Protein backbone atom coordinates (compact mmCIF):
# COMPACT_ATOMS: atom_id res chain seq x y z
CA UNK A 1 0.00 0.00 0.00
CA UNK A 2 1.05 3.57 -0.57
CA UNK A 3 2.80 5.41 2.23
CA UNK A 4 0.35 7.89 3.62
CA UNK A 5 2.45 10.13 5.77
CA UNK A 6 2.50 12.54 2.87
CA UNK A 7 -1.25 12.54 2.59
CA UNK A 8 -1.56 13.40 6.24
CA UNK A 9 0.52 16.52 5.74
CA UNK A 10 -1.49 17.51 2.74
CA UNK A 11 -4.71 17.12 4.65
CA UNK A 12 -3.37 19.07 7.56
CA UNK A 13 -2.33 21.86 5.29
CA UNK A 14 -5.34 21.86 3.06
CA UNK A 15 -8.05 21.82 5.66
CA UNK A 16 -6.99 24.81 7.72
CA UNK A 17 -9.88 27.14 7.89
CA UNK A 18 -11.08 29.53 10.53
CA UNK A 19 -14.29 29.35 12.48
CA UNK A 20 -16.46 31.39 10.22
CA UNK A 21 -18.94 32.63 12.81
CA UNK A 22 -16.36 33.95 15.26
CA UNK A 23 -17.20 37.65 14.87
CA UNK A 24 -18.55 39.78 17.70
CA UNK A 25 -21.53 42.07 17.27
CA UNK A 26 -20.83 45.51 18.76
CA UNK A 27 -24.07 46.17 20.48
CA UNK A 28 -24.84 47.73 23.79
CA UNK A 29 -25.99 45.13 26.25
CA UNK A 30 -27.62 45.13 29.59
CA UNK A 31 -26.37 42.64 32.17
CA UNK A 32 -27.56 41.19 35.42
CA UNK A 33 -25.04 41.66 38.23
CA UNK A 34 -22.35 38.97 37.77
CA UNK A 35 -22.50 35.79 39.80
CA UNK A 36 -25.37 33.68 40.98
CA UNK A 37 -27.57 34.23 43.99
CA UNK A 38 -31.23 34.72 44.79
CA UNK A 39 -30.98 38.39 43.91
CA UNK A 40 -29.86 37.59 40.38
CA UNK A 41 -32.76 35.19 39.98
CA UNK A 42 -35.18 37.83 41.23
CA UNK A 43 -33.56 40.27 38.80
CA UNK A 44 -34.07 37.92 35.82
CA UNK A 45 -37.62 37.15 36.84
CA UNK A 46 -38.32 40.83 37.45
CA UNK A 47 -36.87 41.86 34.05
CA UNK A 48 -39.42 39.57 32.51
CA UNK A 49 -42.19 40.69 34.73
CA UNK A 50 -42.91 37.09 35.62
CA UNK A 51 -45.82 35.89 37.72
CA UNK A 52 -45.07 34.76 41.24
CA UNK A 53 -45.41 31.03 40.51
CA UNK A 54 -42.57 31.30 38.05
CA UNK A 55 -40.28 33.10 40.47
CA UNK A 56 -41.08 30.62 43.23
CA UNK A 57 -40.29 27.74 40.93
CA UNK A 58 -36.94 29.27 40.02
CA UNK A 59 -36.04 29.86 43.64
CA UNK A 60 -36.89 26.31 44.60
CA UNK A 61 -34.74 25.03 41.75
CA UNK A 62 -31.90 27.25 42.89
CA UNK A 63 -32.00 25.92 46.42
CA UNK A 64 -32.01 22.37 45.09
CA UNK A 65 -29.14 23.14 42.76
CA UNK A 66 -27.01 24.43 45.61
CA UNK A 67 -27.17 20.94 47.17
CA UNK A 68 -25.98 19.21 44.00
CA UNK A 69 -22.54 18.35 42.66
CA UNK A 70 -21.17 18.60 39.12
CA UNK A 71 -21.53 15.27 37.38
CA UNK A 72 -18.16 13.57 36.94
CA UNK A 73 -18.96 10.38 35.10
CA UNK A 74 -18.56 11.61 31.55
CA UNK A 75 -15.25 11.19 29.72
CA UNK A 76 -14.58 14.90 29.61
CA UNK A 77 -12.02 16.95 31.48
CA UNK A 78 -12.12 20.61 32.34
CA UNK A 79 -11.01 22.78 35.23
CA UNK A 80 -13.67 23.32 37.88
CA UNK A 81 -16.16 25.95 36.80
CA UNK A 82 -16.64 28.90 39.06
CA UNK A 83 -20.31 29.58 38.63
CA UNK A 84 -19.92 32.99 40.23
CA UNK A 85 -17.73 34.16 37.31
CA UNK A 86 -20.56 34.31 34.82
CA UNK A 87 -23.21 36.77 33.91
CA UNK A 88 -26.54 35.01 34.00
CA UNK A 89 -28.40 37.58 32.01
CA UNK A 90 -27.32 39.66 29.04
CA UNK A 91 -29.71 41.35 26.65
CA UNK A 92 -29.28 43.80 23.82
CA UNK A 93 -30.14 47.20 25.27
CA UNK A 94 -32.97 48.76 23.41
CA UNK A 95 -36.24 50.02 24.64
CA UNK A 96 -37.36 48.60 27.90
CA UNK A 97 -40.00 46.65 26.06
CA UNK A 98 -39.18 43.88 23.67
CA UNK A 99 -39.54 44.70 19.98
CA UNK A 100 -43.13 44.36 18.89
CA UNK A 101 -42.40 43.65 15.30
CA UNK A 102 -39.44 42.90 13.13
CA UNK A 103 -39.25 46.56 12.14
CA UNK A 104 -38.34 47.42 15.70
CA UNK A 105 -35.46 44.98 15.92
CA UNK A 106 -32.06 46.63 16.10
CA UNK A 107 -30.64 46.70 12.57
CA UNK A 108 -27.30 45.48 13.93
CA UNK A 109 -28.96 42.35 15.16
CA UNK A 110 -30.66 41.78 11.86
CA UNK A 111 -27.29 42.20 10.24
CA UNK A 112 -25.78 39.63 12.59
CA UNK A 113 -28.35 37.07 11.61
CA UNK A 114 -27.87 37.94 7.94
CA UNK A 115 -24.16 37.19 8.38
CA UNK A 116 -25.07 33.91 9.99
CA UNK A 117 -27.18 33.11 6.98
CA UNK A 118 -30.41 33.37 8.94
CA UNK A 119 -32.32 36.31 7.44
CA UNK A 120 -35.05 37.44 9.77
CA UNK A 121 -36.94 39.52 7.22
CA UNK A 122 -39.86 37.39 6.30
CA UNK A 123 -39.63 38.32 2.65
CA UNK A 124 -36.01 37.15 2.52
CA UNK A 125 -36.49 34.22 4.82
CA UNK A 126 -35.89 30.65 3.87
CA UNK A 127 -39.03 29.43 2.30
CA UNK A 128 -41.23 27.64 4.77
CA UNK A 129 -39.08 28.20 7.83
CA UNK A 130 -40.24 30.29 10.75
CA UNK A 131 -37.41 31.50 12.98
CA UNK A 132 -37.15 32.46 16.64
CA UNK A 133 -33.80 34.20 17.14
CA UNK A 134 -32.30 34.06 20.61
CA UNK A 135 -29.45 36.50 21.19
CA UNK A 136 -27.59 35.88 24.44
CA UNK A 137 -30.36 35.70 26.99
CA UNK A 138 -33.38 36.92 25.08
CA UNK A 139 -35.47 36.18 22.08
CA UNK A 140 -35.06 39.07 19.64
CA UNK A 141 -37.38 38.11 16.86
CA UNK A 142 -39.87 35.49 15.88
CA UNK A 143 -40.97 35.35 12.27
CA UNK A 144 -44.17 34.19 10.58
CA UNK A 145 -46.15 34.41 13.78
CA UNK A 146 -49.37 35.48 12.18
CA UNK A 147 -49.32 32.82 9.57
CA UNK A 148 -48.83 30.21 12.27
CA UNK A 149 -51.44 31.82 14.46
CA UNK A 150 -54.01 31.25 11.72
CA UNK A 151 -53.73 27.48 12.13
CA UNK A 152 -53.59 27.71 15.91
CA UNK A 153 -49.87 27.02 16.26
CA UNK A 154 -48.26 28.93 19.11
CA UNK A 155 -44.65 29.79 18.32
CA UNK A 156 -43.10 32.39 20.58
CA UNK A 157 -40.40 32.98 23.13
CA UNK A 158 -40.85 31.18 26.42
CA UNK A 159 -40.98 34.55 28.20
CA UNK A 160 -44.04 35.49 26.18
CA UNK A 161 -45.58 32.08 26.76
CA UNK A 162 -45.24 32.54 30.52
CA UNK A 163 -47.27 35.73 30.13
CA UNK A 164 -49.72 34.65 27.45
CA UNK A 165 -50.16 30.91 28.02
CA UNK A 166 -49.39 30.36 31.71
CA UNK A 167 -51.68 27.33 31.92
CA UNK A 168 -49.76 25.44 29.26
CA UNK A 169 -46.39 26.41 30.66
CA UNK A 170 -47.36 25.48 34.20
CA UNK A 171 -48.74 22.16 33.05
CA UNK A 172 -45.72 21.07 31.04
CA UNK A 173 -42.64 22.90 32.29
CA UNK A 174 -40.47 20.46 34.22
CA UNK A 175 -42.78 17.58 33.42
CA UNK A 176 -40.22 15.79 31.26
CA UNK A 177 -37.01 17.03 32.83
CA UNK A 178 -37.78 17.31 36.54
CA UNK A 179 -36.11 20.35 37.99
CA UNK A 180 -33.79 18.27 40.16
CA UNK A 181 -32.97 15.91 37.29
CA UNK A 182 -29.32 16.80 37.11
CA UNK A 183 -26.91 19.55 38.03
CA UNK A 184 -27.14 21.49 34.77
CA UNK A 185 -30.89 21.07 34.38
CA UNK A 186 -31.42 22.46 37.86
CA UNK A 187 -29.13 25.37 37.12
CA UNK A 188 -31.08 26.07 33.97
CA UNK A 189 -34.40 25.83 35.77
CA UNK A 190 -33.25 28.50 38.21
CA UNK A 191 -31.80 30.98 35.73
CA UNK A 192 -33.20 30.36 32.27
CA UNK A 193 -33.75 33.67 30.60
CA UNK A 194 -35.44 32.82 27.36
CA UNK A 195 -36.02 30.16 24.80
CA UNK A 196 -38.73 28.92 22.54
CA UNK A 197 -42.23 27.72 23.18
CA UNK A 198 -44.21 25.72 20.66
CA UNK A 199 -47.70 24.33 20.92
CA UNK A 200 -49.30 22.44 18.05
CA UNK A 201 -53.01 21.93 18.59
CA UNK A 202 -54.92 18.72 17.99
CA UNK A 203 -54.79 17.39 14.49
CA UNK A 204 -52.66 20.21 13.09
CA UNK A 205 -49.76 19.52 10.83
CA UNK A 206 -47.52 22.55 11.31
CA UNK A 207 -47.38 24.18 7.87
CA UNK A 208 -43.72 25.15 8.05
CA UNK A 209 -40.49 24.16 9.73
CA UNK A 210 -40.00 25.97 13.01
CA UNK A 211 -36.53 27.02 13.93
CA UNK A 212 -34.59 28.74 16.67
CA UNK A 213 -31.24 30.28 16.06
CA UNK A 214 -29.12 30.65 19.17
CA UNK A 215 -26.29 33.12 19.32
CA UNK A 216 -24.05 33.80 22.31
CA UNK A 217 -22.48 37.22 21.80
CA UNK A 218 -21.64 38.90 25.10
CA UNK A 219 -18.42 37.93 26.85
CA UNK A 220 -18.40 36.00 30.13
CA UNK A 221 -22.01 35.15 29.62
CA UNK A 222 -23.78 31.93 30.18
CA UNK A 223 -26.70 31.06 27.97
CA UNK A 224 -29.48 29.12 29.61
CA UNK A 225 -32.31 28.73 27.23
CA UNK A 226 -35.37 26.69 27.78
CA UNK A 227 -37.37 25.08 25.03
CA UNK A 228 -40.75 23.52 25.46
CA UNK A 229 -42.57 21.87 22.59
CA UNK A 230 -45.97 20.28 22.94
CA UNK A 231 -47.55 18.32 20.13
CA UNK A 232 -51.17 17.64 20.93
CA UNK A 233 -53.09 14.62 19.63
CA UNK A 234 -52.49 13.81 16.00
CA UNK A 235 -50.28 16.81 15.31
CA UNK A 236 -46.90 17.09 13.62
CA UNK A 237 -44.04 19.51 13.86
CA UNK A 238 -40.50 19.69 12.58
CA UNK A 239 -38.25 21.91 14.62
CA UNK A 240 -34.69 22.98 13.89
CA UNK A 241 -32.10 24.69 16.00
CA UNK A 242 -28.75 26.17 15.12
CA UNK A 243 -26.11 27.64 17.35
CA UNK A 244 -23.05 29.86 16.95
CA UNK A 245 -20.90 32.05 19.17
CA UNK A 246 -17.99 34.49 18.77
CA UNK A 247 -14.41 33.37 19.23
CA UNK A 248 -13.35 34.23 22.74
CA UNK A 249 -10.41 33.03 24.76
CA UNK A 250 -12.32 32.12 27.87
CA UNK A 251 -14.77 29.24 28.03
CA UNK A 252 -18.43 30.11 27.98
CA UNK A 253 -21.19 28.10 29.50
CA UNK A 254 -24.31 26.98 27.71
CA UNK A 255 -26.70 24.88 29.75
CA UNK A 256 -30.00 24.45 27.97
CA UNK A 257 -33.02 22.33 28.75
CA UNK A 258 -35.33 21.10 26.03
CA UNK A 259 -38.56 19.31 26.81
CA UNK A 260 -40.77 17.68 24.20
CA UNK A 261 -44.18 16.21 24.77
CA UNK A 262 -45.95 14.14 22.15
CA UNK A 263 -49.54 13.09 22.79
CA UNK A 264 -51.50 10.33 21.02
CA UNK A 265 -50.54 9.95 17.36
CA UNK A 266 -48.39 13.09 17.45
CA UNK A 267 -44.93 13.40 15.99
CA UNK A 268 -42.08 15.75 16.79
CA UNK A 269 -38.98 15.89 14.68
CA UNK A 270 -36.20 17.84 16.35
CA UNK A 271 -33.04 18.65 14.43
CA UNK A 272 -29.95 20.37 15.71
CA UNK A 273 -26.88 21.68 13.98
CA UNK A 274 -24.63 22.70 16.83
CA UNK A 275 -21.71 24.84 15.84
CA UNK A 276 -20.78 26.74 18.97
CA UNK A 277 -17.24 28.05 18.94
CA UNK A 278 -15.06 24.98 19.60
CA UNK A 279 -11.97 26.78 20.87
CA UNK A 280 -8.77 27.25 18.93
CA UNK A 281 -6.41 24.54 17.69
CA UNK A 282 -4.64 24.53 21.05
CA UNK A 283 -7.84 24.00 22.97
CA UNK A 284 -8.12 27.56 24.24
CA UNK A 285 -11.60 28.96 24.63
CA UNK A 286 -14.81 27.49 23.33
CA UNK A 287 -18.26 26.79 24.65
CA UNK A 288 -19.08 24.30 27.35
CA UNK A 289 -22.25 22.81 26.02
CA UNK A 290 -24.02 21.00 28.88
CA UNK A 291 -27.47 20.30 27.63
CA UNK A 292 -30.41 18.23 28.83
CA UNK A 293 -32.81 17.29 26.06
CA UNK A 294 -35.60 14.86 26.64
CA UNK A 295 -38.84 13.95 24.97
CA UNK A 296 -41.81 12.12 26.38
CA UNK A 297 -43.88 10.04 24.01
CA UNK A 298 -46.90 10.27 26.30
CA UNK A 299 -49.52 9.10 23.89
CA UNK A 300 -50.06 5.93 21.93
CA UNK A 301 -48.49 5.84 18.46
CA UNK A 302 -46.54 9.00 19.20
CA UNK A 303 -43.09 9.55 17.82
CA UNK A 304 -40.11 11.68 18.72
CA UNK A 305 -37.12 11.82 16.47
CA UNK A 306 -33.87 13.56 17.41
CA UNK A 307 -31.31 14.33 14.76
CA UNK A 308 -28.15 16.11 15.75
CA UNK A 309 -24.99 17.22 14.02
CA UNK A 310 -22.55 18.29 16.67
CA UNK A 311 -19.41 19.92 15.37
CA UNK A 312 -18.88 22.80 17.75
CA UNK A 313 -18.20 23.43 21.45
CA UNK A 314 -15.08 22.76 23.47
CA UNK A 315 -17.05 20.24 25.48
CA UNK A 316 -20.34 18.66 24.60
CA UNK A 317 -22.32 16.84 27.27
CA UNK A 318 -25.65 15.95 25.83
CA UNK A 319 -28.03 13.00 25.70
CA UNK A 320 -31.26 13.73 23.82
CA UNK A 321 -33.58 11.04 25.12
CA UNK A 322 -37.00 9.52 24.65
CA UNK A 323 -39.32 8.22 27.30
CA UNK A 324 -41.57 5.85 25.43
CA UNK A 325 -44.64 5.72 27.63
CA UNK A 326 -47.40 5.38 25.05
CA UNK A 327 -48.09 1.99 23.49
CA UNK A 328 -46.57 1.69 20.01
CA UNK A 329 -44.60 4.88 20.48
CA UNK A 330 -41.37 5.36 18.58
CA UNK A 331 -38.11 7.03 19.55
CA UNK A 332 -35.27 7.80 17.19
CA UNK A 333 -31.83 9.24 17.66
CA UNK A 334 -29.59 10.06 14.73
CA UNK A 335 -26.32 11.67 15.60
CA UNK A 336 -23.11 12.85 14.06
CA UNK A 337 -20.57 14.11 16.57
CA UNK A 338 -17.35 15.43 15.15
CA UNK A 339 -14.51 16.49 17.40
CA UNK A 340 -11.21 17.95 16.29
CA UNK A 341 -8.19 19.56 17.96
CA UNK A 342 -8.83 19.45 21.72
CA UNK A 343 -12.61 19.18 21.59
CA UNK A 344 -14.32 16.70 23.86
CA UNK A 345 -17.73 15.22 23.36
CA UNK A 346 -19.63 12.80 25.54
CA UNK A 347 -22.95 12.38 23.83
CA UNK A 348 -25.58 9.79 23.13
CA UNK A 349 -29.13 9.06 24.11
CA UNK A 350 -31.43 7.27 26.48
CA UNK A 351 -34.33 5.22 25.23
CA UNK A 352 -36.63 4.19 28.04
CA UNK A 353 -39.20 1.65 26.93
CA UNK A 354 -42.27 1.64 29.15
CA UNK A 355 -45.28 1.11 26.86
CA UNK A 356 -46.10 -2.00 24.87
CA UNK A 357 -44.65 -2.46 21.39
CA UNK A 358 -42.50 0.60 21.73
CA UNK A 359 -39.56 0.78 19.37
CA UNK A 360 -36.40 2.79 19.16
CA UNK A 361 -33.57 3.26 16.71
CA UNK A 362 -30.18 4.72 17.49
CA UNK A 363 -27.70 5.57 14.77
CA UNK A 364 -24.59 7.31 16.01
CA UNK A 365 -21.53 8.33 14.03
CA UNK A 366 -18.59 9.67 15.96
CA UNK A 367 -15.60 11.20 14.22
CA UNK A 368 -12.56 12.05 16.22
CA UNK A 369 -9.50 13.90 14.93
CA UNK A 370 -6.51 15.77 16.32
CA UNK A 371 -6.31 15.37 20.09
CA UNK A 372 -10.04 15.13 20.53
CA UNK A 373 -11.94 12.68 22.71
CA UNK A 374 -15.29 11.50 21.46
CA UNK A 375 -17.55 9.26 23.50
CA UNK A 376 -20.87 7.67 22.67
CA UNK A 377 -22.77 6.98 25.86
CA UNK A 378 -26.23 5.55 25.56
CA UNK A 379 -28.82 3.73 27.58
CA UNK A 380 -31.47 1.39 26.27
CA UNK A 381 -33.75 0.35 29.07
CA UNK A 382 -36.65 -2.00 28.59
CA UNK A 383 -38.97 -2.19 31.57
CA UNK A 384 -41.01 -5.22 32.48
CA UNK A 385 -44.12 -3.47 31.16
CA UNK A 386 -42.72 -2.99 27.65
CA UNK A 387 -44.05 -6.13 25.99
CA UNK A 388 -42.77 -6.49 22.46
CA UNK A 389 -40.29 -3.62 22.71
CA UNK A 390 -37.70 -3.30 19.97
CA UNK A 391 -34.41 -1.48 19.83
CA UNK A 392 -31.75 -1.34 17.20
CA UNK A 393 -28.53 0.52 17.86
CA UNK A 394 -25.65 1.12 15.52
CA UNK A 395 -22.71 3.16 16.76
CA UNK A 396 -19.69 3.72 14.62
CA UNK A 397 -16.57 5.62 15.46
CA UNK A 398 -14.03 6.89 13.01
CA UNK A 399 -10.57 7.92 14.08
CA UNK A 400 -8.47 10.36 12.10
CA UNK A 401 -4.94 10.61 13.48
CA UNK A 402 -3.22 8.73 16.26
CA UNK A 403 -3.68 11.22 19.08
CA UNK A 404 -7.43 11.15 19.33
CA UNK A 405 -9.74 8.85 21.22
CA UNK A 406 -13.07 7.24 20.45
CA UNK A 407 -15.07 5.52 23.11
CA UNK A 408 -18.31 3.63 23.12
CA UNK A 409 -20.17 3.06 26.36
CA UNK A 410 -23.60 1.57 25.88
CA UNK A 411 -25.82 0.45 28.72
CA UNK A 412 -28.40 -2.14 27.72
CA UNK A 413 -30.87 -3.10 30.43
CA UNK A 414 -33.62 -5.49 29.51
CA UNK A 415 -36.29 -6.78 31.82
CA UNK A 416 -38.76 -8.13 29.32
CA UNK A 417 -38.57 -11.50 27.68
CA UNK A 418 -40.47 -10.42 24.59
CA UNK A 419 -38.12 -7.54 23.88
CA UNK A 420 -35.61 -7.64 21.09
CA UNK A 421 -32.58 -5.49 21.57
CA UNK A 422 -29.67 -5.33 19.20
CA UNK A 423 -26.58 -3.25 19.56
CA UNK A 424 -23.65 -3.06 17.19
CA UNK A 425 -20.62 -0.87 17.29
CA UNK A 426 -17.41 -0.51 15.35
CA UNK A 427 -14.34 1.61 15.74
CA UNK A 428 -11.78 2.03 13.02
CA UNK A 429 -9.64 4.57 11.26
CA UNK A 430 -10.38 6.25 7.99
CA UNK A 431 -9.40 3.75 5.36
CA UNK A 432 -6.13 4.30 3.50
CA UNK A 433 -7.55 2.35 0.60
CA UNK A 434 -10.57 4.63 0.32
CA UNK A 435 -8.42 7.75 0.54
CA UNK A 436 -6.05 6.47 -2.09
CA UNK A 437 -8.89 5.47 -4.36
CA UNK A 438 -10.61 8.83 -4.11
CA UNK A 439 -7.42 10.81 -4.54
CA UNK A 440 -6.38 8.67 -7.48
CA UNK A 441 -9.60 9.85 -9.07
CA UNK A 442 -8.36 13.40 -8.74
CA UNK A 443 -9.72 14.75 -5.45
CA UNK A 444 -7.49 16.72 -3.12
CA UNK A 445 -6.77 15.18 0.25
CA UNK A 446 -9.07 17.70 1.88
CA UNK A 447 -11.93 16.89 -0.43
CA UNK A 448 -11.26 13.20 -0.14
CA UNK A 449 -11.49 13.28 3.65
CA UNK A 450 -14.59 15.46 3.44
CA UNK A 451 -16.18 13.12 0.95
CA UNK A 452 -15.47 10.00 2.95
CA UNK A 453 -16.63 11.53 6.22
CA UNK A 454 -19.81 12.79 4.61
CA UNK A 455 -20.46 9.37 3.16
CA UNK A 456 -19.84 7.85 6.56
CA UNK A 457 -22.47 10.17 8.07
CA UNK A 458 -24.99 9.86 5.28
CA UNK A 459 -27.41 7.72 7.25
CA UNK A 460 -27.77 10.55 9.74
CA UNK A 461 -27.58 13.52 7.39
CA UNK A 462 -30.45 12.22 5.30
CA UNK A 463 -32.67 12.65 8.34
CA UNK A 464 -32.10 16.40 8.34
CA UNK A 465 -34.38 18.83 6.52
CA UNK A 466 -32.83 19.82 3.20
CA UNK A 467 -31.45 23.28 4.08
CA UNK A 468 -29.85 21.91 7.20
CA UNK A 469 -28.40 18.90 5.47
CA UNK A 470 -26.47 21.10 3.07
CA UNK A 471 -25.21 23.28 5.89
CA UNK A 472 -24.25 20.23 7.94
CA UNK A 473 -22.27 18.73 5.09
CA UNK A 474 -20.23 21.88 4.66
CA UNK A 475 -19.73 22.06 8.38
CA UNK A 476 -18.33 18.57 8.57
CA UNK A 477 -15.65 19.33 6.01
CA UNK A 478 -14.78 22.66 7.58
CA UNK A 479 -14.65 21.24 11.08
CA UNK A 480 -12.00 18.73 10.07
CA UNK A 481 -9.56 21.59 9.70
CA UNK A 482 -6.05 20.61 10.71
CA UNK A 483 -6.98 16.98 11.05
CA UNK A 484 -4.73 14.24 9.84
CA UNK A 485 -5.83 11.96 7.04
Partner 1 sequence: MRERNLGQGLEKFSPALRNYVSEALSFDAGPEALSGLRSHAREALLETLPLGRSERWKYTDLRRYFAKPTRLADAPGVVSQQDLERFLIKGYARAVFIDGFLSTELSDLEGVEWSALDEKIVGRVADIKSTGFVALNSVLLKDGFSLRVTKSQPQQRPIQLICLTSDKLVGEIHTRITIEIEENIEASICETHGAIGSGVGLCDYVIEIVLGKNARLQHVVHQQASQDIHHVVTRAGRIDEGAKFTGFSLLEGGALSRSETVLSLTGAGSEVKLYGIGLMRSRQHCDVTTDIMHEVSHCNSEQVFKNVVDGQGRTVFQGRVYVAPDVQGIEAHQLNRNLLLSKNARADSKPELIIHADDVKCSHGATVGDLDEEALFYLRSRGVSENIARGILIRGFAAEMFEVLNDKTIVTYLDEALENWLLCADYDGGLA
Site residues (CB under 8 A) for partner 1? 73, 382, 384, 397, 399-429
The C-alpha atoms of residue 108 and residue 201 are separated, in whole angstroms, by 35
Q: Which of 272, 275, 270 is nearest to 259 (CA)?
A: 270
CB of 484 vs partner 1, minimal distance in Å: 9
From CA 297, how far away is CA 390, in angstroms rounded?
A: 15
**Per this entry, what is the length of the chain?**
485
Give strand pairing partners of 241.
Answer: 212, 272
Output the DSSP codes for 18-87. Answer: --TT-------EEEPPSS-SHHHHHHHHHHTT--HHHHHHHHHHHHHHHT------SS---PPP-TTSSB
Sign of the dihedral defined by the CA atoms of residues 411, 417, 419, 421, in that order: positive
| Nearest approach, Cβ of residue 375 and partner 1 (Å) | 9
Rg of the Cα atoms in the chain: 22
Q: Which is nearer to partner 1, 37 or 418 (CB)?
A: 418
Q: How far is the CB of 485 from partner 1 (least distance, A)?
A: 11
Q: Which is nearer to partner 1, 321 or 483 (CB)?
A: 483
- Choice between 33 and 384, CB closer to partner 1: 384
**End-to-end CA gap in the chain:** 15
Give the residue with the Cβ less far from partner 1, 163 or 361.
Answer: 361
Give the residue from 362, 369, 331 showing the smallest Cα distance to 460: 362
CB of 267 to partner 1, least distance (A): 27
Least Å distance between CB 419 and partner 1? Answer: 6
Which is closer to partner 1, CB of 229 or CB of 419?
Answer: 419
Distance in Å, CB of 414 to partner 1, minimum = 4
Residue number, 125 or 409, with CB nearest to partner 1: 409
Smallest distance from the beta carbon of 73 to partner 1, in angstroms? 7
Looking at the Cβ atoms of 309 and 399, the one nearer to partner 1 is 399
Answer whether 200's CB lies under 8 Å from 230's CB: yes
Amino acid sequence: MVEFAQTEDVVQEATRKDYEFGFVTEIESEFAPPGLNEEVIRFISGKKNEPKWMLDWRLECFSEWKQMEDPNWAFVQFPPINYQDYYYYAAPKKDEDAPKSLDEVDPKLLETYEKLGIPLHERAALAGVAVDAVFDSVSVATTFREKLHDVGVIFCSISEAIQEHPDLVQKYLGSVVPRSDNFFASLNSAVFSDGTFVYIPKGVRCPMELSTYFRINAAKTGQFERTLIIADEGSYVSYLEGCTAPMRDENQLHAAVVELIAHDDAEIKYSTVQNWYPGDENGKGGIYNFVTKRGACRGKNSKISWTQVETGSAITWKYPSCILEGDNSVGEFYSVALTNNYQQADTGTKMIHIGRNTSSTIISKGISAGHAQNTYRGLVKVLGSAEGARNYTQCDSLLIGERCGAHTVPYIETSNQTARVEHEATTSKISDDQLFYVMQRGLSAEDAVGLIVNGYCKEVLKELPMEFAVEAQKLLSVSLEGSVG
